[in-house]
Amino acid sequence: MLQRPTPQPLYDPTRADGAFQLRYSWTGWPSERAFAATPVEILATTEKHWEDDGFRLLESTWTTIQIQLLFSAEPSVSPVLLATRAKARLDHALREAGLKIKFSRKLAVRSIGDNTRQAVEAYIEQQVPRARFADPQFAEFLRQFTIVNPHVDLSAPSESARGR
């Protein structure tokens, strides 16, 4: 009897790179009027460190007035972690390369995805009524903070001196 080789699976989870639907855009601006150079090769050296942090660079645009990065993030990565690590790792790589590029303290992080404003507002509005608190009085206390105000546009970004 002729023995045939054992077929190998097409999918091997140990060799798969995960992809997540969590997308964040990160924008950084220069501290002076414009970035002096656009060393895009720096991004390639920084990608491995970002992946160690739990997010992956998908796209980038580097101009003299701003840097925009699009990341895919693991569910465990918070927007705050992404904001700080994206800037810190990039800043470190630039200094290691001997480039004098300074960032403004201001930056922007935006979540990008399929959720609509109505879906997010409905989700937030239902958090207190759906929660099962051990103390019913605590649930009643939290209800006073659940406000529906049609005159407030939650889709408008809030801005401060430090970012958007």
pLDDT at 115: 67
Same domain, 82 and 97: yes
pLDDT confidence of 71, banded at 50, 70, 90?
Answer: very high
Same domain, 42 and 93: yes
Q: What does the pLDDT average to over 136-164?
A: 79
CA-CA distances (angstroms) from residue 55 to 24, 27, 29, 51, 111? 9, 15, 21, 5, 13
Give the amino acid at 36.
Answer: A
Q: List pLDDT tens digits, range 44-57.
A: 889 999 999 999 99
Provide the number of structural domains found in the chain: 2
Which contiguous run of DSSP H or E holds residue 125? helix 117-125
Q: Dihedral of CA 117/118/121/126: which sign?
A: negative
Q: Which residue segment(s) compose the domain that 91 sits in?
A: 20-112
Q: Identify whether 138 is part of a domain.
A: yes
- Return the DSSP state at 18: P
Which contiguous run of DSSP H or E holds residue 96? helix 79-96
Same domain, 66 and 131: no
Q: Strand, helix or coil at 45?
A: helix
pLDDT at 53: 94
Angle at 95 (CA atoms; ends 104, 101), nearest 5 degrees: 35
Residue 30 has pLDDT above 90, yes or no: no
**Alpha carbons 106 and 160: distance in angstroms, whole number:** 9
Q: Identify whether 156 is part of a domain.
A: no
Q: Identify whether 10 is part of a domain.
A: no
Residue 114 has pLDDT above 80, yes or no: no
Q: What is the mean pLDDT of the chain?
A: 83
